[in-house]
Amino acid sequence: MTIAELGVERTRFGWVHAVFAVLFGLLFAFYFYEALAQTLELSGYLQTQNALLRKADATELVFPWVVIAPLLALPFITFGLAFLLARRRPILPFIGIFVMALAVLSAGALTLESIAFQLTRIS
Amino acid sequence: MSGSSGRTPEESDDDALSWGTERDATHVESAVEEPSGDPHAIEAPEPTNSVLLVVYGVFAGVFLLYVVGWIIAVQSIGVGSAGALALILDRFAQFLAFLSPVIWFFGVLLLVPHTKPRTRILWLVLGVVVLAPWPFVLGFGS
């Protein structure tokens, strides 16, 4: 297969595809586990911050679900989109699309995590 | 040099620079390649339009800047996972985050056919929006 054919060739979803889909699935699952861990960590952090705010009679911070919900959903969304785009492609483009999705997930998760911690920080 | 034929050196130089005719003894007819006629034969890729090359170059520059932004952002975020495996995977995730613009750029160029430049540019624009180092741009760090 030449580089020019990488983007146009189509094939059937075989057992090699399935093996790689499962391996990538495990990596995407780790990101979900990380997002859950961050949610719990943030919850504890927020309680500490709110205790300080209560003592100072200041307005308490709310849990940033606007950011945490996409963070929890992102592994499923990126995996689903990668699978839809890659399922009929030969194995090399199949792996390439999943690596791209994993890279997007890494960047997106870091962005959302840092926004979530910023929103729960006392200024 | 050309004294025997009675021609001036300038005339002799002009001959050397001409292609000659078919009656010239040194003339060699090159083989003409006939088209194969096979409709399924894969044609050689057309050279990329120079305007497109400039556009791809601009995108490559933007994505390289993003890599620098991500490296700075990742350094300020820090790792919070407990356990060796989680720590390794966390480091891997950070490594992927700062390589994400490069992975996206080459992924789009390799996976979107060169015959669809608009589709390529749309995917690259999507990458510019999604993969911007937002924690660095917004000045965040956990």
Number of domains in chain A: 1
The answer to whether residue B125 sits within a structural domain is yes
Q: Across the interface, do B107 and A7 touch by the CB < 8 Å criterion?
A: no
Inter-chain contact B70–A109, Cβ cutoff 8 Å?
no
**B129 found inside a domain:** yes
Query: Which stretch of A91-95, B46-50, B59-63, B106-110 has the lowest confidence by average pLDDT?
Result: B46-50
Express each pLDDT in B108-140 by its tens digit. 999 998 888 899 999 999 999 999 999 888 887
On whether residue A3 sits in a domain, the answer given is: no
Domain hosting residue A70, numbered range: 14-119
A54 occurs within a structural domain: yes
In a domain, B63, yes or no: yes
Task: Kindly state whether residue B68 falls inside one of the protein's structural domains.
Answer: yes
- Is there a domain that residue A4 lies in? no
- Average pLDDT for B28-41: 60
Tell me, yes or no, whether A20 lies in a domain: yes
A56 inside 8 A of chain B by CB: no
Identify whether B11 is part of a domain.
no
pLDDT top residue among B11 and B98: B98
Does B122 touch chain A if contact means CB atoms closer than 8 Å? no
The b/e string for B79-105 (b: 16+ C-beta within 10 A; e otherwise) is eebeeeebeebbeebbebbbbbbbbbb
Q: Do A93 and B130 touch (CB under 8 A)?
A: no
Query: Domain span at residue B56?
Result: 52-137
* Low pLDDT (below 70) residues in chain A: 1-7, 122-123
Q: What is the ipTM of this complex?
A: 0.84
| Prediction pTM value | 0.76
Residue B26: inside a domain, yes or no?
A: no
How many folded domains does chain B comprise? 1
The beta-carbon neighbor of B135 closest among A93, A106, A114 is A114
Do the domain assignments include residue B130?
Answer: yes
Check if the beta carbon of residue A104 is closer than 8 Å to that of residue A81.
no
Burial zone of B59 (CB within 10 Å; 0-12 exposed, 13-18 middle, 19+ buried): buried
